[in-house]
Amino acid sequence: MTSLFYFILFGCVFASGLLVLAVTIPQRALKLMLAYTGAFLFSIAVLDLIPEVYSSLGKMAGVYILIGFFFQIILEFFSSGIEHGHVHHHSSKMFLTTMMISLSIHSLLEGMAVSYHPENVSDIINKGLFIGILLHHIPIAIALMALLGETSLKKGQRILMLAIFALMSPTGMFLGMHVNVLSTLPGGSYLLNITTGIVTGILLHISTTILFESSEEHRFNLYKFITVLLGAGLAVLILL
């Protein structure tokens, strides 16, 4: 059953990126998609992740959330904000390398946080966060392929970089599950809780940035407002 989650996360993200090779994704559609995922991620963080992290870590939860928030700012120095849909047309090998490393670290940590250890040990996937990361990574894959399409990289090289990105979150899930299996050992559970706290901070930074940047002059038009409500509404329905 777990392998199905790996396949869905990798397959949907990889296929979304490949779509850019066949069709042009309108910027308006991408912005609405980002607004939807931003609202969903913010709602998941507030309704599920923050209470879970504080329950597990106590007052230290806030420290790890802040670490995640500011760590994402550092990552964006190297990725130029592609995590929230920014496409800056840089073609240097140094930029592409640091961007992929930053994006990979971001995705790996998010994947690790998807695995957790509730009282029901048969349920080892945080489904709300899983859906949030899936929705979040689809527009990233689109933005990534749009950026790579402006470089001199060959088609095969672009597809390989897309595949690496799509593999990072499933790899993080795999690592997180192994920490989960070892949670009976000293430090196993605590390490996963720390990761969840850091990812919560990352998601808070990503989601709030998306919500502010998805509107012109910080004003929501009707379509974007409805999109944000739908994203938040889906999070509430999943967590009920």
Whole-angstrom CA distances from 184 to 17, 55, 120, 180, 191 are 39, 18, 15, 8, 12
pLDDT for the residue 120: 42
Percent helix, strand, coil in the chain, to 5, is: 80, 0, 20
Q: Tens digit of pLDDT for each residue in 36-88?
A: 999 999 999 999 999 989 998 898 999 999 999 999 999 888 877 777 666 66
**Which stretch, 86-100, 123-137, 204-218, has highest mean pLDDT?**
123-137
How many C-alpha atoms does 153 have within 13 Å on its Cβ side? 23
Q: What is the CA radius of gyration of the chain?
A: 17
How many whole angstroms separate alpha carbon 64 and alpha carbon 53?
A: 9
pLDDT at 217 over 60: no
How many whole angstroms separate alpha carbon 84 and alpha carbon 99?
A: 13
How many whole angstroms separate alpha carbon 159 and alpha carbon 162?
A: 5
pLDDT at 222 over 90: no
Q: Tens digit of pLDDT for each residue in 12-33?
A: 999 999 998 888 878 888 888 8
Query: Of 231, 218, 177, 194, nearest to 63 (Cα)?
Result: 194
Average pLDDT, the chain: 83
Spatial contact of 107 and 169, defined as CB atoms under 8 Å apart: yes
Query: Which residue range(s) make up the domain with 197?
Result: 2-18+27-239
pLDDT for the residue 65: 95
**How many domains is the chain built from?**
1
Residues 119, 123, 126, CA angle at the centre, nearest 5°?
100
pLDDT for the residue 121: 41
Q: Tens digit of pLDDT for each residue in 136-185?
A: 899 899 988 988 888 888 999 999 999 999 999 999 888 877 765 555 55
| 64-73, 108-117, 125-134: range with lowest mean pLDDT | 108-117
pLDDT for the residue 209: 86
